Amino acid sequence: MNSPGLKHRVHQMLYAQHSNDRWAAAFHLAMAALIILNVAAMMLETMAPLYREWKAYFIAFELLSVALFAIEYLVRLWVSDLTPHYQNHASGRLRYLLSPMALVDLAAILPSLFLLGSLDLRFLRITRLFRVVRLLHIPHCNQAMHDIWQAARSKRAEFMIAGAIMFILLVISSSLMYFAENAAQPTAFSSIPASLWWGIMTLTTVGYGDMYPITTAGKLIAAFFAALGIGFFALPSAILASALIEQSRQKSHATCPHCGGEIEK
C-alpha cells in the first residue's frame, strides 16, 4: 500500500477538501452523530434511576467514544504536517497540538481519563459539543462562515454604536428603578449594581419575575423601558441581516476590477 498516498487521502477526507467527497461527507456525518449521542448520554446520566439501570451500557458507550475520539486525534496529528500552516517547520506538529481545534479535540478525550480517579470531571464532556465547530470547516460551510464574518466586520461601527446605546439604556433604566423602588423594596433593589439584573431581564423582555416594581413610578419606568428594549435589543440582528443582504447583492452583480463597471453574465 502506498503510505504517502494513503496519508494524503486521509488528510483530504479529514478536512473535506473536496465538497463532493462521499467518504468525507460520511465521516463528518458519523462524527456529528457521535458527538450528539455523547452529549445526549451525558444528559441522560443525570437521571439517577435510568443511569443505575443502564450504567454498564453508559460506561461501554463512553469507552467506545473515547477510543474513537482518540484514534481520530492521533490520525489528525499524523497528517497535520500536510496542512500548509504546519509544514516545513520543525515544530509544525507542536504548533498543531497547540492550535484551538486540536485543544478542543483533546478536551473531548481528557475528562474520561479521570473516571477512575477521585476527581469527577464528567461534566467537562460537554466540551465535546464544541467539536461541531470543526464540522463547519468544510467548503460550503467555510464560505457561509466567511460571508457572515465579512458582513459583521463591514458593520462593526454600527455594532459598536448599538452596543453603546444598549449599555446606556441599561444603566439609565437600572438607576431610575433603584431610586423608584429602593424605599419600597430595600432588599431587592438594594443598589444600582443589584438593579442591573432587573434592567437586563426587562430590556431583553425575559422578565424572570424575581425582581419587579410595586410602586407606581417603578411600574411606569418598567413599562417604558420594556417597550424600548424590544426595539433596541433587536438592533444587532437587524444590522447583521442588512449587511448579509448587501453582501448578497454585491455578489450577484459582478464588477470589473479595473473600471468598476458591471459585468454582464
Lowest mean pLDDT among 3-7, 141-145, 165-169, 232-236: 141-145
Q: Domain 3-136 in CATH: superfamily? A: Voltage-gated potassium channels. Chain C (1.20.120.350)
CATH architecture of 156-252: Orthogonal Bundle (1.10)
Residue 219 has pLDDT above 90, yes or no: yes
Single out the residue of 250, 16, 11, 26 nearest to residue 147, CA to CA.
250
Separation of alpha carbons 226 and 222, rounded Å:
6
Separation of alpha carbons 222 and 40, rounded Å:
40
The predicted pLDDT at position 172 comes to 94
Residue 111 has pLDDT above 60, yes or no: yes
Separation of alpha carbons 183 and 205, rounded Å:
25
Going by pLDDT thresholds of 50, 70 and 90, the confidence category of residue 265 is very low
Separation of alpha carbons 162 and 238, rounded Å:
11
Q: Which three cell numbers stand for residue 152?
A: 459583521
Residues 69-78 pLDDT 10s: 889 889 988 8
Q: How many C-beta atoms surround the C-beta of residue 29 within 10 A?
A: 11
Distances in Å between the Cα of 168 and the Cα atoms of 48, 55, 79, 171, 208 are: 46, 52, 51, 5, 22
Lowest mean pLDDT among 25-29, 177-181, 255-259: 255-259
For the four alpha carbons of 182, 183, 188 and 190, in that order, the dihedral sign comes to positive
Domain with CATH 1.10.287.70 in the chain: 156-252
Claim: this prediction has a pTM higher than 0.95 = no
Q: What are phi and psi of 97, to 5 degrees?
A: -60, -30
Domain with CATH 1.20.120.350 in the chain: 3-136
Residues 48-64 pLDDT 10s: 888 889 989 988 998 89
Q: What is the mean pLDDT of residues 221-245?
A: 85
Q: What is the mean pLDDT of residues 185-198?
A: 92
For all residues of the chain together, what is the average pLDDT? 79
Q: Which three cell numbers stand for residue 176?
A: 431610575
Separation of alpha carbons 167 and 160, rounded Å:
11
Helix (H, G, I), strand (E, B) or coil at 257: coil
Length of the chain: 265
Going by pLDDT thresholds of 50, 70 and 90, the confidence category of residue 158 is confident
The predicted pLDDT at position 1 comes to 44
